[in-house]
Structure 1
Amino acid sequence: MFGIYPIVDSLRLSLYTGADDGGVAFVGLANFVYLLTDQFAAPRFWNAFVNNVQFFAIHLIVQNPIGLLIAGLLTSGFLRRSEGWYRTLIFIPTTLSVVVVGFIWQLILSPLWGFVETPLLGLESTALPTLSLMSVWQYVGIPMLFLYAVLVNIPRELDEAARIDGASGWQTFWRVKFPLLAPMFGIISVITYIANFNAFDLIYSVQGPFAGPNFSTDIFGTLFYRTFLGAQTATGSVTLGAAVASLMFIIILIGVALYLLLVHRRLRTYDLSS
């Protein structure tokens, strides 16, 4: 009721447009054609798509490997006495409000009273990577916790057998433990993909609905907000906003389907053969 029905109804609504009598009129795929090809709407849509891909790529390349590294350190024995403290400290930012996180980092990165002299959030070339790293800092505890849960359940006999065979700690991790981690690492990548293509709150709280400067931090979430609700004096369009939401859903669905067809099967085969 609260999940599937809104998605289906958004797909239905995206096939309509507002009529003069206040109702809606069926237009088929006209809203999608407008978003993808119109000289004014298409540049905003494709800019949001490229930015969203970059936003996801930074999380995939930075956040998940760091989570894996931290999980490995927590289970390696080097932090045995304070393992629980480190695990809690790393996960705490995940529980914070995104608005609070955005406000704190705005203070830290402010050229006037912060720790940097360069306006990282005010430059087109650095705004999106900076916001991405802020998000990485907040959510790195999630992949860390998932991977940690897998690592602590790996039998110690595998470590002992690898050491008897002469494997180093590095070789033991990559040849013994990582094959067991690979399916979970893939699941975390899919979760990251879905979450990043649905992202909105951090960029909105820091850069506003126009995702400045010059739309350099605009992603699907902020594009949908402006299209559906409007911004300042602009009037939003419910049906066009539904078309943006439908395209978001289709892109996410395609990405997840490609993972299940091309990656998940290989990870399962890799895990079984190992």
Structure 2
Amino acid sequence: MSDRARKRPFRWHIVVFLAPAVLIYTAIMIIPLFGTLNLSLFARAEDGSRVFVGLANFQTLFGDPRWSDSFWNATSNNLWFFVIHMLVQNPIGIALAAILSAPKLRFAAFYRTAIFIPAILSFVIVGFVWKLILSPLWGVAPTFMDALGLGDWFAPWLGLERSALTTLALISVWQFVGIPMMLIYAALLSIPDEVLEAAEMDGITGTSQFWKIKLPLILPTIGIISILTFVGNFNAFDLIYVTQGALAGPNFTTDILGSFLFRTFFGFQLQLGDPHMGATVATVMFAIILVGVSIYLFGVQTRLRRYQF
């Protein structure tokens, strides 16, 4: 047979099945992305026309103190927001998954559902409810802490500059801890029974089995959770806006890149919106996320493949 006859026919059905997803993704993701990148290279002239300025907007964002101070404040707050999720949310999610995967635990399905429910709630509901709970005037938190003898420990955490951002991060942890819990839970269930039986024959049981056998085997899933946490936190906006408003009070201490982008693009109160500078901020956010994801894909994931089945 000739080489041409040996070639496999082109699989058109693959194109047919992929085309809708590719078209939708292109329409709502790729085209807006390039539109944003293009918008960041222009500025508004005095007569209202668009003028190509190249990278001048980025120079303004990083070099002009009126912009750079707000940008670096939002970036550092966003980094702290992410660190709290990594140090609190994901370890708690791993611990909950380990507990709920115990075969002898009763009502495990109920506990999983109860923990995961906040993740499907609206940001508006979560933000409004927690503002009511933590309110020093009509919230239940002061009364509850008084009943426990901890009344002196209560403070208006959402209204204090030193605690507002951390409080919001912990509220976000409460809302989304169910996601890493369920992913880790699924990873633990996927471990072959033969591996666990072999460990038990070697005398490795209980907590020791989790640290020596299960944890190394779920490292790829933990890596995926970490990068999802990174992307989600550097795209965060809703909770800050609902609880603290567009100005991200008090005194911009809860301002993150998402809220900074909102004020820059659309404007707020006395600040006029500038779509071109807003697109510049969005482009920088995209670059930060792209760098973080690239580091994970090329620096971390390749090393975790040895633990995959």
TM above 0.5, yes or no, is yes
Number of the residue aligned with 2:89:
63
Output the CA distance in 2 between the equivalents of 1:261 and 1:155. Answer: 28
Output the CA distance in 2 between the equivalents of 1:221 and 1:23. Answer: 27
Q: Give, as a single letter, the amino acid of the residue that structure 2 aligns with 1:97.
A: S
Moved more, 246-255 or 17-26: 17-26
Output the CA distance in 2 between the equivalents of 1:39 and 1:170. Answer: 53
The question of 1:17 aligning with 2:43 is answered yes
Output the TM-score relative to the length of structure 1: 0.96
Report percent identity of matched pairs. Answer: 54
- Deviation, 1:268, is 1.6
Number of the residue aligned with 1:5:
31
Q: Equivalences for 1:180-191 in 2 at 5 Å?
A: 180-191=217-228
Q: Which runs of 4+ in 1 moved over 6 A?
A: none
Number of the residue aligned with 1:99:
124
Output the CA distance in 1 between the equivalents of 2:187 and 2:298. Answer: 24
SS in 1 for 2:246: coil
SS in 2 for 1:40: helix
Aligned length: 271
RMSD: 1.2
Moved more, 107-116 or 64-73: 107-116
Which runs of 5 or more structure 1 residues have no equivalent in the other structure?
A: none
Which of the numbers 272, 281, 285 marks the counterpart of 1:248?
Answer: 285
- What whole-Å deviation, never above 9, does each CA across 1:184-205 have from its counterpart, x for those lacking one? 1101111110010000000000
Output the TM-score relative to the length of structure 2: 0.85
Q: Equivalences for 1:80-99 in 2 at 5 Å?
A: 81-99=106-124
Output the CA distance in 2 between the equivalents of 1:144 and 1:59. Answer: 13
The question of 1:264 aligning with 2:301 is answered yes
- Deviation, 1:140, is 0.5
- Deviation, 1:93, is 0.4
Q: Give, as a single letter, the amino acid of the residue that structure 1 aligns with 2:123.
A: V
- Structure number with bigger Rg: 2
- What whole-Å deviation, never above 9, does each CA across 1:167-219 have from its counterpart, x for those lacking one? 13122112211122100110111111001000000000000001011110000
The question of 1:112 aligning with 2:137 is answered yes
Which runs of 5 or more structure 2 residues have no equivalent in the other structure?
A: 1-26, 143-153
Which of the numbers 223, 226, 229 marks the counterpart of 1:192?
Answer: 229
Which of the numbers 53, 56, 59 marks the counterpart of 2:79?
Answer: 53
Output the CA distance in 2 between the equivalents of 1:215 and 1:29. Answer: 27
Q: Give, as a single letter, the amino acid of the residue that structure 1 aligns with 2:117.
A: I
Q: Give, as a single letter, the amino acid of the residue that structure 2 aligns with 1:70.
A: L
Which of the numbers 259, 276, 284 marks the counterpart of 1:239?
Answer: 276
- Deviation, 1:50, is 0.3
Q: Give, as a single letter, the amino acid of the residue that structure 1 aligns with 2:208.
A: Q
- What whole-Å deviation, never above 9, does each CA across 1:76-108 have from its counterpart, x for those lacking one? 1342x3011001000100111101101111111
Number of the residue aligned with 1:44:
70
Output the CA distance in 1 between the equivalents of 2:31 and 2:114. Answer: 39
Output the CA distance in 2 between the equivalents of 1:24 and 1:86. Answer: 56
Q: Give, as a single letter, the amino acid of the residue that structure 2 aligns with 1:141.
A: G
Moved more, 134-143 or 257-266: 257-266
- Deviation, 1:40, is 1.1
Which of the numbers 128, 131, 155 marks the counterpart of 2:192?
Answer: 155
SS in 1 for 2:51: strand
Output the CA distance in 2 between the equivalents of 1:48 and 1:78. Answer: 46
SS in 2 for 1:17: strand
Q: Give, as a single letter, the amino acid of the residue that structure 1 aligns with 2:261.
A: F
Output the CA distance in 1 between the equivalents of 2:245 and 2:194. Answer: 53
- Deviation, 1:22, is 2.1
Output the CA distance in 2 between the equivalents of 1:167 and 1:196. Answer: 37
